[in-house]
Each structure stands twice: as C-alpha cells, then as structure tokens.
Amino acid sequence: MFRHMSEEMGKQDVEICMMLLFEGSRIIDIYRDIKMNFLEVEFVIEGRSEEFHVSLLPDGIEDLSAGLTVAPNRLYEYRQFMVAKRYSELWKDNIFAVF
C-alpha cells in the first residue's frame, strides 16, 4: 500500500534519494511537510562551497536551487526508487496493487 513519504521516509531513504539525484551530496537538514506530503532538503555537494535545496515529492522533484540540474537518468532512478519503496502516488488508491 501507499506510504506517505513525509511521515514514513527515514533518513537513510532520504540519503539514498539524494545520492541518486546529486552525486557527492550531504544532507544538512530535512523539513517534512506532512499536510502536502513532501520533503524540503538542504544539502551541500562535495567540492562546492554553497548550500542548495530541493523539494522531494512522491513522483518527482521541485524547487531546485538555481545553478543545479538533474540528469534525466538520475530522475528516472529516483522515480524507480520511489515506486519500489511505495512512496509513489502510483500506489495511492490503486485497486491493482494487492498484497
């Protein structure tokens, strides 16, 4: 069944998401928006001095800091991870997902 990422996603899963999206990233802080079901992550990237942020959503990302991009294959892997861990909206009220 569908899992609310803002409530159930542990730090280890957030770290995996960040490594999938941004190689060499290290999390500084995580803000959980329970009502809207997303995570706002502040992070740094190895070899860069500035801090960045990104909003992790069940099926994508938003509010990426200026100057950063995510390669399509990395975003695809993020989505695969979210589906596999049941955080994706594809699981929500899906009558075909039976365990």
Query: What is the predicted pLDDT for the residue at 99?
Result: 59
Query: What is the predicted pLDDT for the residue at 81?
Result: 97
Query: What is the predicted pLDDT for the residue at 91?
Result: 75
Query: What is the predicted pLDDT for the residue at 78?
Result: 98
Cα separations in angstroms, 63 against 2, 41, 85, 88, 95: 24, 10, 23, 18, 32
Q: What is the mean pLDDT of each run of 10 residues along the chain (99 residues)?
A: 92 98 97 97 96 97 95 97 90 70
Q: Where are the domains of the chain?
A: 5-91
54-78 core/surface letters (b: 16 or more CB in 10 A; e: else): bbbbbeebeeeeeeeebeeebeebb
pTM assigned to the model: 0.91
Rounded to whole angstroms, how far apart are CA atoms 16 and 70? 15
